[in-house]
């Protein structure tokens, strides 16, 4: 499997949570894991779940630095625990993508 996975987060939530040394997405409480994507899955995930792309960041996560369990389910990586900040290699800002009028 890939050594890098990606998570799309609200930038304000990432900034707030990362100051604590770990990131806890709400899905950790409701589903027991944090949803992530492989590189090739990121565009589809953005299109399906984040069409406006405002106020978002993409976290680039080094799998070998994760302190909690990682499972691949239905082809997607899921992080079973809080995401430790030192596992995040890069944080990329996303901007709204303007669509051409038809």
Domains of the chain: 4-93 (3.20.170.20)
Q: Helical H runs in 10-74?
A: 11-18, 27-30, 42-49
The number of beta carbons lying within 10 Å of the beta carbon of residue 81 is 16
Residue 100 has pLDDT above 60, yes or no: no
Please return the burial class of 13, using the count of CB atoms within 10 Å of its CB with bins 0-12, 13-18 and 19+. middle
Q: What is the pLDDT of residues 22-50, one digit of tens each?
A: 999 999 999 999 999 999 999 999 999 98
- Check residue 94 and give its pLDDT: 84
The number of beta carbons lying within 10 Å of the beta carbon of residue 23 is 24
Question: pLDDT tier at 70 (50, 70, 90 boundaries)?
Answer: very high
Phi, psi (deg, nearest 5) at residue 59: -90, 130
């Amino acid at each position: 499997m890939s050594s890098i996975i990606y998570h799309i987060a609200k930038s304000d939530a990432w900034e707030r949570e990362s100051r604590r040394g770990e990131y806890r997405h709400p899905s950790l409480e409701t589903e027991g894991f944090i949803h992530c994507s492989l590189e090739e899955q990121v565009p589809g995930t953005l299109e399906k779940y984040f069409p406006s792309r405002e106020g978002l960041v993409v976290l680039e996560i080094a799998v070998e630095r994760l302190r909690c369990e990682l499972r691949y389910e239905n082809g997607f990586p899921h992080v079973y625990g809080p995401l430790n900040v030192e596992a995040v290699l890069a944080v990329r800002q996303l901007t709204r993508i303007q669509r051409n009028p038809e």
